[in-house]
Every structure is written in C-alpha cells, then in structure tokens.
Structure 1
Amino acid sequence: ADRLAKMVPERPNITLKKAFEEVPELEKETKSDNPLIRQTLKHAQVLEGTVRQTGVHACGIIIGRDDLEEYIPLCTNSDAKLFVTQYEGTHVEDIGLLKMDFLGLKTLSIIKDTLQLIEQSTGKKVDIDTIPLDDSKTFELFSRGETTAIFQFESPGMKKYMRALQPNRFEDLIAMNALYRPGPMDYIPSFVNRKHGREPIVYDIPEMEEVLKDTYGITVYQEQVMLLSQKLAGFTKGQADALRKAMGKKLKKVMDELKEKFIEGCLSKGYDKKIVEKIWSDWESFAEYAFNKSHSTCYAYVAYQTAYLKAHFPSQFMAAVLSRNLSDIKKITTFMDECRRMGIQVLGPDVNESQIKFAVMPNGDIRFGLGAIKGMGENAAQNIIEIRAKGGKYKNIFDFFERVNLQTVNKKNLEVLAVAGAFDNLIDFDRSVLLAVDAKGVSYLEQLMRYGIKVQSEKNSTQQSLFGSVPGFEVPKPAPPKADPWPTIEKLNKEKEVIGIYLSAHPLDEFRFEIESLCNVSIADLKSNMEQYRDRDVTIAGMTIASRIDTAKNGKQYGRITLEDYTDSMDIMLFGKDFESYRNFCFNGYYIMVRGKVQPKAYKPEELELHIKSINMLYDVREKMIKSITLNLPLDEINDIFIDDILKYVQRDKANITLKFKVYDPEYQVSVDLFSRAYRVNITQDFIDYLNDSEINYKVAME
C-alpha cells in the first residue's frame, strides 16, 4: 500500500482518476496479477472523497438559550471535556445557536510568570493593567526592532517594518498589527512614508479625514468602513454592521444589495458618483483582508505589555519566556540567542540555586529550573528546594545526600541531575565520575545514596535512643572512583538528552570561526527569507542530525541530509549527480559546510531550493579551503607591540594561508591594501583568540 501511495503525485486536488492518467505504472497496477493489489486500488477508488475522520474545534464553544439537545445531536469525544456537536460547525449558526471561540493564549501566562519573578527577585509589585501607554523605553524597543518573544511582533518582516516606522504611539502598533498580513502588507510602505511626511496624505472626500486620520488616510479596519458608510451614505448602525459581516464573509449577494444603497445614499448627499464608486471599489478589495480594530487593539495591548516588561525587566521576562517554551527546541534556541544578545547568561541547573522553573539570579543571569530537566519529577525537585530553604545551601555532595529525602529523590532523579550538571558546584571532579562504576558494577551515585540512607538512618536512631549518639562514630564517606571525563561531544549529547538543548556548550563551538567567518547566512534566516536569496550563492554549515538514503518512484536512489546549525535545521536533498558526488556525507554526526545557489525547483518552479555546488567537512575547511585572511587596521594602531604580537603567529615554511592587511587612515579616509610576501599564517585557535581579544577586524577568503 505504501508503494502504491508513493506513485500518486503529491499535489492538492489530485484524484486516483487523474493519477492513473498521469502515472502509467499506477494504472498498470489495476490489472496486476496480485489480487490484493487490485482489491486495494478498487477499494481506494470507492473510499475516495468520503470523510476520513471527524475533528473537534480547538476552542469553539456552542451556546444556546435552551438545552442543546433540543437543537442538535450531541456525542462524547476523547479529545474534548464537553459534549461535541454531530453537526458541522458551518451549520450550527444556521439553526439559531451561537458559536464563540475561546482561545488560550500562552502570552498571558508569560506575563503572569514575569510579574511573579519580578516580585521574587526584586520585591517590586508591578500592576500590568496600569502601566503607561506612552512609555518611551517601550517604544524605543519597538523602534529598534528588538521584538523577539514579543507577541505578534517577533517575525523578521515585522521587525524590519518596526525599524522603518519608528512607532511612538499606541495607535501605530494597532495599525501595524492589522496591516501585517497578506494583502494589506502592500500598504505598509505607504503607511510608513505618510507617518514620516515623505508621502502626502490624501482623502477622496474631505469628510473622510475624521475617520481615517489615525491611519494616515489608509483604510485599515472594518470599523472605519462602518463609520464611513454611516457618515457618507447615511447607513443605519444595523446596515453598517451588515456591511461589515458581508465583507468579512464575502457574501456577494448582500454586498451587491448594499452597494446600491451606498451609492444612492452618497448621491443624495451630493457626492460625485465616480469618487463614490472608487471608494466602494477600494472597499471591495479591502474586504479580502478587512480586520477588526477592537481585535487588533487587544492584540497590540498584549504586545505592548510584553514589550514593556522586556524593556524594564529583561531577565525576568526572558526567564518566563524560556519556562513557557521548554517543549519547543527551535524557540528555546532562538530565545537563548536573544538572551546572549541582551547580555543575559543562561546558566545550567544547580541544586543550590535552581527553582522549579527558570529563575533570575541577583546579577540578572537566568538559572535553568530543576523541573525543566527530563526525568526529574516535580516532587523530587520540590524536596531539594524545600530542604535547601530550611537548612541553607548544600555544602558539598555528601551534605546533599545526608539531607534530601532519598525516597522522594530517587536514583533516576539523581542520575539526570548528575548528567545535567546540577551537582557540578558541589564536586571537585568531573560529573562523569558520579556515574562511573566500581569493580562490583556499582556506580558512585549509588554509593552516595547508600551513604545518605545510612547517615539519615543513624540520625533517626540516635534521636530515638535514650543515651544519644555514640562519640567518635561516623559513617565513612565513599571515595570517588577514578574515571576518564566524557569526551566533549558525549557530554553535550547526554546534557541535551535531559535538558533538551545544548547548554554548557555546543558541538559546533569548535567550528564557530568557520561558521561566523565563512557562512553568509544562518539556516533560520535562509529558511524564512528564501525569496530574498533567490539566484544568490549561499554558504551554510552545521552538523548532520539525520540522514537517509532512499529509492525514488523511478527506481533511482536519492539522499536526504538534515543539517542543523545554532539557529535551526533544514533538509538538503541529493538527487542524480549530486547524490553520486556527496552520498558519503549521508551519515549522522558529520560537521559539514554546504555551498550552493538558491534557485527554483526543477519540477516546482514556484518553490525555491538550495542547489548544491559543494559539500566539505568542516575539519578540512581551515587547512584546505581558506586562501587568505585580511586584517583591517587603523594606521595609528600599527606599532612595535602589534608587530611583535603578529610575529608570534606568522611562519615562512609551515603555514599556507596568505596574510593580508588593509591599512586605513580614518582622518583622511584613505586605505592601502598590502600582503606579506615572506610570511604566511595558520589559523589556529590561539591566533583567532588573539584577533578577538585585540578587537582586530578581519575577513577570510576561500578558494
């Protein structure tokens, strides 16, 4: 069945009848010698077009004046807590019932969590409902486009328009929220230009200014159409609402009827028929994307609240955002990068500092929560935190095991704490030692558990004894076994298993120089802005996290590599000659650099893809592919100290990368390009660290 299904072309509105006409091999299968294949295709044709399954709306609630059984058949469903209608949603309103969508919004929880964190870490109580709507710090954040994690304003496109618009009033946010959708987006450049006086604000009829002034003469909201229809054509409020509904639901018949009334009403007030018809024509095209101002205002208000918190309480806000997005690895990676950009460090879990969720440290850093570790139950985490609160921080690893409840905090909990690095500040050896086993196959963690149980047992029996403790008696502390530290990649992979992300480091850190110096786009940027890179050469790099070699319908093999960098992951397809040339890269755990060109797909020209030009191992790039490095130097920084420093890294014979200099004089704005004939350089980590520490700007060129 899977083989037959793969023969059917993957595109919308395809039918088996069309598939038989387009794919002779599939049509041939209807006459197969195998009766099971013939029956499968026969049944498939009979079943085609029938309802495959029923679904339950995520948030649609049906409301009636009487018991709903009087109006509709009801049933129970495993996906819903309430009864479910057996009529389709589109028919429910026709029989006189009201359908309301009650949406759950994660952003409201983020705001609530942020307010709690502010109170915990600073003692301040912020009333989010009374914050000023003209806060300059908040509008500066919007104007800089620093809106990552800001509700409705975090897409790259919206950031670009925010920087262009430079919003300075709440109405600008309401309008941009309504305009930033397919269709009205075309009006954004005009909206921006009109705000800044670069384009005149024109009204078809002077009376329209009162209604359209806030949006610089551009119709943005349904409410504006409702008000203008009343003002220009004398519509009643009921007729204006009927117009709004007809526009929103594209009811052509109703629109045509209202058009006649609108033109009649405008003419009776003495307006020019051509102008009136133009206004109606504009409204008809506007109907495709008409937005509700009250809706946009609510969204903009929640966005403003989140931006206010980010501007004034950045650490608390980002801690709340991280806590509420733990299950989404792509978002977590984005938010971690945003923390770094903001100068906030995200620290790993620690039994002495972590709370259940992400917490804010006194210096503004964010500490990973114990409850966010996979396999760490909330009861165990709560016990560790409560014991710490009562008796102070844990002094060392033995003190920890002497105090926590080892029935609540079990072996599995302790193992994930060890792997996550939550004990690192209590030990003076590598975390791998905690899981190392002795000759009897017992791990050091288990020995510590036995020690803790014995100490707690002795304490209990001493308290119950008539004579108290026996002087000089002490439970011997188990000595840590000798064990090699985990290799970096193994340590990071184990960490990722229990935390969900690479936290203490990243496997690609070894190649950060290559990625930052030689790649001209990140995977996240390439995926979200493919059109922007059309017909351009791009270089990306990362590690292969999944790979597969498969056989296409035509019997030829092809490969799929999933490449991940610091920002995102994407699939790279290898067909034909590309597959033959690069099939040896179809393995997991490879670190590779991919160079290619963004071009239309051969069989789907409306879609873009990356056409491969070359794939190389990142290990080889530094030695085999880098041709030269150019140091950009201000004239006044070239002195004996700089020359002595550079001479430590250059060689005559054992280096192969040309060292170039671009020396410039900022005062006279002149520069000269130079290169060393006698000396070359190897790009070692020491050399990179020297350039970064000295803040020397450099550029690398590949062959």
Structure 2
Amino acid sequence: MFLNCHTWFSLRYGTFSVEDLCVLAKKNGMEAIAVTDINNTSACMNFVKEASAFGIKPLIGIDFRNGVSQQYVGIARNNIGFRQLNEHLSAHLHQHSAFEDNAPDLSDCYIIYPFEKVVKTKKKHFRKNEFIGVSVETLRQLKFSTYLRFSHKLILLQTVSFRNKKDFNAHRLLRAIDKNTLLSKLPRDEEGSINQQMISLQEIHKAFEDYPFILNNTQNLIESCEIKFGFGKDRLNRNLQIYGKSKQEDENLLKKLCKENLPKRYPEASQVVRDRIEKELKAIFNLGFVSYFLINYDIIQYARSKNYPYIGRGSGANSIVAYIIGITNVDPIELDLYFERFLNESRKSPPDFDIDFSWKDRQDVTDYIFRRHKNTALMGTYVTFKRRAVVREIGKVFGLPKENIDKLSAGFFDFEQLDHLEQLVIRYSGLITGFPNYLSVHSGGILILNDSVYNYSGTFMPPKGFATVQVDMNISEEVGIHKFDILAQRGLSKITDAIEIIKQNQPEAHIEDIDNVAVFKNDPEINNLLRAGDCMGVFYIESPAMRGLFQKLQTQSYLELVAASSIIRPGVSNGGMKEEYIQRHRNPQRRRQAHPVLYEILAETYGVMVYQEDVLKVAHYFAGLSFEEADVLRRGMSGKKTSKGQIDKIERKFRDNCRERGYDVTLINEVWDQIASFAGYAFPKGHSASYAVESYQSLYLKRYFPLEFMVAALNNGGGFYDVETYIQEIRKCGGIVHAPCINNSDHPNVIRGRDIFLGFAYIKELELKVIQRILENRQFFGSFRSLDDFIDRVEISIDQLSLLLKINAFRFTGLDKHHLLWKAHFKLNHNKTNSTQALLFRTPHKDFDLPEFSFDFLVEAYDQMELLGFPLCSHFDLLKNNLQPTVKAKDLKNYIGKEISIYGNLITAKRTPTVNNKYMYFGTFFDQHNDIFDTVSFPGVAEKYPLRSKGIFLCYGKVVEEFGYIAVNLKWISRQETAGDPRRTERSRVLK
C-alpha cells in the first residue's frame, strides 16, 4: 500500500535497512510495498529477494529528486519498466543534470507526481500511466482542490522514511552532515517531515473513508505490477554467454587455443596433463563458462599487444586450461593444484580470475574492455560510516570544540562523566555507524553482461569515467552477475621500470628473460635472500612479519615461498596453524603428531590446513561432505555470502559424519576450529603461487641489480615502508643518495652509476608546473650554467625558487645556498614571476657583495626534513648526546638468553591486541650500522613504553631466538634527544 518507502540507500537521508523495512511492513499488516529510494536503486534487487520471506509483494522504483525536492516517483510495472527507470536515472546522474518537472514517456512504468508538486506546477494533462499522489497530510488540501475531479488519477503516496522519533533525529543529523552545517542551522526544507512514518492499514482506511476510490486506484496499481529476478539456485548466469558467433564456435575456439599453446607450456605433455585438460574442458563446457575463459584470454591478448605485464591469480590459477592459454603463469601439475577448488560439478559461479596489471596500465585495459563489449559497467560498492568518523561528524554538527571531538573519537572517556551533548554524540554515532555513506567503485570488478546493465541497476559516473552500477558484488552474485577482476598493483611496474633503468644505467649488463622464472627458482643466490628475509622492496613479501617467517622456515624454494605466503594470513596464523606448520616443517619427528587421515589428505603441508582448498579437501575426504556442501563451507569461511543458517546446518552434518567415522570429539573440535579460523582470510594455493612468481622476478632484480630495483621501487610509490627506509636500503646496497639537483634530477628519482638523485616530486610545495618548466627548458637548451642563467630561462616565483635553493639544488655552482638565497631575493621581485618572453639580448645581472655565511650540517639536515620529510644524513648523526657502547644488531646472535642494550632507529611498529584485550608491539629498527633488528613489547612494557612515533631509542631487553629468528624482548626503551635546529636556538637567544 505504501508506494514511496526509503531505506538507508537514500543516502544521508534514510535510516534503516531493507530487512528493517520488511519487518516494519509485516508489523503494520502490509501485503505489498514499494522501495523507491532517492535517486538510487541499490536496495531494489535485495528487497525483491528479501520480501518473499516476509510474505510481502515487492514493488520497486525510484524517488526522483533534485536535492531534496521531490519531482515524481517512478514505479516499475515489470522488469522492462525497471530498466526504463534505471536508464532515465543514469542519464541524469552521468550528466549531473536536474530532473525536469515532467517525466519522459516511460511506457512500462507508473509515474506518480506528489500532490504539492501538481498544485505548484498547475499540471493538467496526465498520460495513461501518470498519477497524482495524495498523502494523509495533503488529503485536507485535496478536499478544496479542483484536482478532486481527477478521481481516476488519485492514488495514495504516503512517504515512509522513519520508524520513530529516534530515526527522525538520526535523519536530521545525516542531513546536517550532508550539508556540512550545524544542526541548529539546518534549513527546514533540507529535512523530511516527522510524519513520514508507516501507519497501519486501519489508520489508512479511516483517513480515506470518504475517498475509497483513492485506495482502490492504489490497489489496482499494485496488482498490475510484477517484478521477477532469480536468486541463489534459481538464478541464471547473467554474464556474456557467447563470446563469438555461437556456443559451438566458442567451444571449438577454446579447444583450438589449448591445442596450439600446449607445446609452449608442456613440450612433452604427459598423459596426466592430457587427462587434466580433457577433464577441465568437459567441466567448462557443461557449466557454461567457455565465454568467461575467452573474455579473460582476450583481455590478456590485448595486454600482451601493448607489452603490459600482468599476473593471473585467484581460484582460476588452479586451471590447466588457463595456464596453457596464458591467463595465468602457474603450472597446476607442478604444484598439484586442486581441481575442485577451481571447478566442480556443483559450482554455479565461474572461477575467479584476478588479473593484476600495473597501476599505470589498468586504466587503458579497462577502457579496452568497455570499447570491446557493449553491456559493461564497473562494480559498485558501499562506503559505510565508521565509528570514529561518525563521532567526528556528529561532534561537528553539534558544534563541539575540537578537543572534545578528539577525546570522543579516540574513545578515551567515561560515558557517565560526559555532558549531555557528548552523550548524544556517542548514542547517535552508535546508531549511524554502519549506514551506507556514499557509493564508490569496487577495487577491480568489471561486469560484462549478456543483457543491459540497466535491467539490474542504475549507474553513476565516478571520476574514473566509467559507468558504475549502484549495487555491490553480494547481491550481484545472488542474481547471477559475476565480476571480472581487473586489478592494479605497483609490484609489476617496479619490475618493468627496473629493467628499463638497468638498460639505461648498465647498457652492457645481461638481463635474464624476466618470464623465465624457472631459472630464478633454482638460483641459490636468490633463495639465500629468501632464507635471510632480505626482501625489502619485493612485492608482498617485504614486511617484518614475512622476514621473520622466512627466517623461521629457512625458506629457500618456490614451494616453500608459496606456503609461507599463505600461512602468514590471519586465518592460518590466528588458528595456531602457522606455529604448528613451522614446527612440523623444521622437525620431521613432529609430523608424526598429525592425524593419519589429515596427513594423507594434506601431505604437502604435513597435515596442517594452509590453503583455501584444504577446507574443501578436509570437508570432503575427512568429514564426508559432498563437494557442493564443502564448497558452500569454503565460501562461507572465505568471507563469501551464504544463505542464513547454511553454515550451521553444514557444521551439524560435519560433526555427525565425523562421529559416524569414529573420530574423537577432541579431534572433531580441533579440525572444525581450524576450518572456522580461516573465515575471510585464507588464500587459494594458486593465488599464493601466482604472487610467488612475481616475488621471484623481483628477487632476481634485487639480487643482481639492487640499486636500479630500489630506484624503481621508490618511483612506484615504495611499498610497506616509508621513503626514508628505502633510501637507507639503497645506501646499504652501496648507493650514494643526493638531494634533488637542478641539472641531474627528474620528476622521479634518477640513477647514474651508483649516484641516485632524488626527484623534484619529493620537494614539498614545489608546483608541478614549475617542475615541467625546468625539465622542458633543460631538455631543449641543456644544463643550467648558473643561478643567473636559470633565472633568465625559467619562469618562477621567488617562493618556488627558494624551495629549490633551500634544498641546495644549485650546489653545482659551488656557492653556499645561503649566499644564493640572498642573491635570488635581490634579483627577483617578491610579488612577480620573471617573464617567459625569450630574450634576444640578455641584460647582465648585477652582483652583490655579501658577507661570509657560516655553514652548519644541522641546518642542512633540518631543511631537508622540512622539504623532503627526512634528512639525507643518518639520524644517529643528529643526536644531541654521544652514543654509549652497546651491542650491534649483527652480533645479537651471540647474546641469546642475555639482557643487552642496543640503539635503534624505529622503522615501523605494529600494535597487536592480545586475547585478554590488552595489546603488544612488534617493532623493527635500524642500528647505527644500517642493520635491522626486531623487538617485542609484551602488554606491561607496551603500556609503559608505547612505540607511537619514530625516533632513535636506546632499547634494553632480553635476546630470544626461535627457529633461527632473533628478537629482543624489551624491558624498557628510552627515546634519545635530537640536536635542535641551530637557527631556532640562535633566534631564541636573540629574542631573549
């Protein structure tokens, strides 16, 4: 009966979910309602799915508004009408244009104009499918209106936005947040009416007892609407079904590609390989996933034509067909990748092909996909309100001072000690947390559909410039829409850029074919880097946690790297399986503790579940679940959405089957707990193997061309660590790092021999246009000969020139930078830039007699910290006091079990919660000799000596060792004082 219901997808307006709306409708005896969110269709398909469980007939549509001004409501009469509404909405959202007062002719929709709008515009002519919407409040005006004679056009349009006063208050806060204004200054016309609530059928009939025809018209409209989508088991595959001209042609093409490419991957293919190919092709044909493979193949072919590097991963990396035709570079036979993780007869969705491209190339690949296929869009996602952010927003809306907002956001308060407004902030932030805040773009999902995108959703146009659906991957998969994952990462461009830099810096050097990973896997020099954890700059494996794990495992092979990449994940780690795997890996005797059935199923990982497919194997072979049940369990434990109660039902069957097989209760609980700990965090083995290939490529470059590789890493945004840490690594590799130089630097970093010149991009507040002018002028007219020459050739303000002089970019002149700064101020007007007009005759510059300036390396260091964010000298050189004799990081192995002191420059610290809700720190430091060491601060020490900010610390603690990995269990730390900027000291003395 209610044809204008809003959910919280009426963004920053609505106040409850689809499920809450269904509960409300059921409570009020509604048999049919319509979800019509404001300029949004995010809730529509989910409402159609959920409504049946509540016995409610679902109607869907859109509330078309300009801001909060309601123009009209569109209701889909059928699926065609829903598409028409989506097309109309999307056209306006793409162009950011206002909706007209009158709707276009949408033949399969009903258009309802609110009574107030009709009166205001004096609308007299209505199409057959257009109506006038009357609410309980406007009924009083209708009695005295000429529109009463339009009896066949009048229907009920009672807006539902709130359940109660609390919802209305939350709505007002959302509107104030949206308008960025104080709640007290929120314009009345920017908020809805508190009367926009659902009332019972009895109240409706009582209000309209004199106008029964209005309710009859409404009921007739409801009965004429029917919208259908198949969900879950009833869904169809909505992805593009035919890649070429016919299904048979597609099947023949995939067979042909396998046949042509087989010799490249397997020059002497065994029967095992041929049987696996036949098995896969049969499954792919039967399940209708041929076009999915061909589309991914086409994307890869385009990337190859452009020489774009890529990595194919995901569950599709378990496929031998994908390996043969080049979608992935992981050999499923070599790695014994589990077929059923990739495809099984019960699987309804295609396998996941996550294809990583360089962050520089992904945009062009996406553009190709949109040009190549008609019904294409990016996958949407919802960015929700987070607790701390909501506290800040509501605090600002209430006008609280910044210090009060900071206190509430940080969570350091006693609720009972808060004043009334502060308590309201906490209460309403708890209510609003989790609401959708705005629509965004999925990290890599692209939809390529068999029919129009608008059959399922409206689209908006984000800055990326590609139409993006208003629904997320969960409801999309429920209805049969499966995304293609086209992702971006910086690791690939590190590799390609490093190779180009090597060619420029060492033209005579021999570079191995970067795709010939087999050579790298068997290189002891590269495997030694793994074993030592010397992987800084290497994509995915450079973190302190990975370094420590490599040392514990003594990782020295490709397969061991694949396992390490998975057991570092929280699911394996938190379940205690990481420690057990390490123990069994290092101690063969320990492997005997594994249950014989589990050891047989998981022989490669010593009976320990490490990969996603291990859940499938254990559920099927250990507990006797069907592959369909095992896959549902695997999806549920890897964070995929499953039906309500499905996991509970499977858990009961899992336990019952295990008891029937005679397993001990303790073992059953232990195995189930391991499976449960995987929730949301496990990797498929093929996924880890794909990453390991890329890691080996980077390790090769790091081992044999460390300086070029580290420069490429910096030029691509670094990685886990900050810029200063990578610069420290460059020095450790023998590089000499220079501040930006006007004649040697570029926008990125440049290497010449062993000299690395930092890029102009690092200089804070140096404008891009100034950098471009410098580089263009230098390219056309050669190096700058002096400051005067630079001033004559480059248009620049004194403020911008001062930045270059302070960083000592003109040191080639041999003059002190302070001297040059004075000269620059004399030669350039403070308020103007020099002319860009080319000079036919240059006027000689006046020179000035200047006093001698004193130089202090501390001044240089502080200028570098101000402009670059870090000094180019060692932080240890900046300490106020001399260092005392202490242990060196490289000698810690000689002090195991002893308490020692060691100086360290903090690189990074990870704060980790403990089981009893306390926290501890894992710290990583450089000592004064550029060697790394790790520390552990247990809760008592962590609370007393938190590692919250960087600096140099004197660390005191006990040296401990675990499987060759050495750390210092801290007892206390003491921050060392840095010498101050001498200019400030002098200024302070003068002021005194």
Deviation at 1:523, TM superposition (A): 4.1
Task: Look up the match of 1:274.
Answer: 663
Which of 36, 58, 65 aligns to 2:450? It is 65
Q: Distance in 1 between matches of 2:513 and 2:603?
A: 32
CA shift, 1:487, in A, is: 5.2
Task: Give me the whole-angstrom Cα distance separating, in 2, the residues matched to 1:151 and 1:46.
Answer: 38
* Partner secondary structure for residue 693 of structure 2: helix
Q: 215-224 vs 499-508, which deviates more?
A: 499-508
Contact 2:740 2:759 in 1 (8 A): yes
* Aligned match of 1:554: none
Uncovered stretches (5+) of structure 2, i.e. residues with no partner: 1-397, 887-900, 912-919, 923-935, 959-969, 981-992
2:459 to 74, 89, 96: 74
Question: 1:437 offset after TM fit, Å?
Answer: 5.2
Q: For 2:417 and 2:827, how far apart are their aligned partners in 1?
A: 66
Partner of 2:809: 422
Match of 2:745 in 1: 354
Match of 1:128 in 2: 514
In the TM superposition, what whole-angstrom CA distance separates every residue of 1:568-602 from its partner, at most 9, and x where no partner exists? xxxxxxxxxxxxxxxxxxxxxxxxx899999xxxx
Count of residues paired in the alignment: 523
Instruction: Find the counterpart in structure 2 of residue 301 from structure 1.
Output: 693
Pairwise CA distance, 1:354: 2.2
**Correspondence for 1:495:** 864
What is the Cα deviation at residue 236 of structure 1?
6.3
**Equivalent residue for 1:580?**
none
Question: Does the 8 Å CA contact 2:941/2:972 hold for their aligned counterparts?
Answer: no
d(CA) in 1 for partners of 2:638 and 2:534? 33
Displacement, 1:116? Answer: 1.7
2:711 aligned with 1:319, yes or no? yes
After TM superposition, the score normalised by the length of structure 2 is 0.45
Name the counterpart of 2:568: 180
| Residue in structure 2 matched with residue 310 of structure 1 by the alignment | 702
Partner of 2:841: 458
Contact 1:375-1:412 at 8 Å conserved across structures: no
Contact 2:904 2:954 in 1 (8 A): no
Partner SS state of residue 438, structure 2: coil
User: Counterpart of 1:434 in structure 2: which amino acid?
Assistant: L
Superposition deviation, residue 175 in structure 1: 0.9
Alpha-carbon contact 2:594-2:606 (below 8 Å) kept:
no
Name the residue aligned to 2:548: 160
Aligned residue type for 2:743: N
Mapped partners of 1:514, 1:506: distance in 2? 12
Cα distance in 1 for partners of 2:437, 2:833 equals 54
2:755 counterpart letter in structure 1: D
Deviation at 1:195, TM superposition (A): 2.7
SS of corresponding position for 1:360: strand
Query: How far apart are the structure 1 equivalents of 2:577 and 2:434?
Result: 42
Deviations 1:440-465 (A, max 9, x none): xx435779x99999995227xxxxxx
1:435 positional shift: 1.2
Question: How far has the Cα of 1:419 moved from its partner?
Answer: 1.7
Determine the C-alpha separation between the residues in 2 that align with 1:143 and 1:443: 59
- State the Cα distance separating 1:372 from its structure 2 match: 3.5
Q: How does 1:312-391 map to 2 (within 5 A)?
A: 312-325=704-717, 331-362=722-753, 364-377=754-767, 380-381=770-771, 384-385=774-775
| Cα pair distance change 1:513/1:106, threshold 3 Å | farther
Distance 1:291 1:434, change over 3 A: same
Instruction: Report the AA paired with residue 536 of structure 2.
Output: T
The residue identity in structure 2 corresponding to 1:213 is A
Residue identity (%): 23
Instruction: Give how far 1:235 is off.
Output: 6.5
Change (3 A) 1:169 1:383: same
Point out the more displaced range, 216-225 or 123-132.
123-132
Structure 1 pair 165–8 and aligned structure 2 pair: CA distance change class (3 A): closer
Of the three residues 23, 32, 50, the one matched with 2:416 is 23
- Over residues 243-301 of structure 1, what are the superposed CA-to-partner deviations in whole Å (9 max), with x where a residue is unaligned? 4223324858434555677789899xxx9431799468515522432432122222222
Kindly state the Cα deviation for residue 69 of structure 1 after the two structures are TM-superposed: 1.8
Q: Report the residue type matching 1:293 in the other structure.
A: K
Pair 374,507 (structure 1): closer, same or farther in 2 beyond 3 Å:
farther
Give the aligned partner of residue 286 of structure 1.
Answer: 675
Confirm or deny: 8 A CA contact 1:194 1:216 kept in the other structure: yes
Shift in alpha-carbon separation, 1:199–1:334, aligned structure 2, 3 A: farther
1:8-54 deviation per Cα after TM superposition (whole angstroms, max 9, x unaligned): 9859999xxxx99x51553xx47xxxxxx99x879959975683722
- Is the CA contact 1:62–1:97 (under 8 Å) kept in the aligned structure 2? no
Say which SS state the counterpart of residue 104 (structure 1) adopts.
Answer: strand
Partner in structure 2 of residue 509 of structure 1: 878
Match of 1:671 in 2: none
Cα-to-partner distance string for 1:308-331 (whole Å, 9 max, x where unaligned): 2211110011111222337x9960
Q: CA RMSD in A?
A: 5.0
SS at match of 1:339: helix
Structure 1 pair 433/221, CA: closer, same or farther in 2 (3 Å)? same
Kept after mapping to 2: 8 A contact 1:539/1:595: no
What is the Cα deviation at residue 147 of structure 1? 2.0
Counterpart-to-counterpart distance in 2, 1:309 and 1:287:
39
2:434 maps to 1:53: no
1:481–1:505 Cα change, 3 Å: farther
Change (3 A) 1:60 1:595: closer
Map residues 521-560 of structure 1 onto 2, 5 A cutoff: 521-524=904-907, 530=921, 532-534=936-938
* 2:586 corresponding residue in structure 1: 196
Letter in 2 for 1:335: Y
Find out whether 1:114 has 2:503 as its counterpart.
Answer: no
Q: Kindly tell me: are residues 339 and 399 of structure 1, through their superposed partners in 2, closer, same or farther at Cα, counting changes over 3 Å?
A: same
How far off its partner does 1:222 sit?
1.9
Structure with larger RCO (C-alpha < 8 A, sep 6+): 2
Q: Distance in 2 between matches of 1:263 and 1:44?
A: 43
Give the 3-state SS of the residue equivalent to 1:346 in structure 2: strand
Q: 1:335 to 1:229 in 2, by over 3 A?
A: same
Say if 1:45 and 1:382 are closer, same or farther in 2 by CA, change over 3 A. Answer: closer
How many angstroms does 1:202 deviate by? 3.8
Cα distance in 2 between the residues matched to 1:398 and 1:383: 16
Q: What amino acid does structure 1 have at the position aligned with 2:705?
A: F
Most deviating of 413-422 and 108-117: 413-422
Rounded Cα–Cα distance in structure 2 between residues aligned with 1:340 and 1:197: 38
Q: Distance in 2 between matches of 1:166 and 1:616?
A: 35
Please point out which of 802, 816, 820 is paired with 1:434.
Answer: 820
Tell me by how many angstroms 1:424 deviates: 0.5
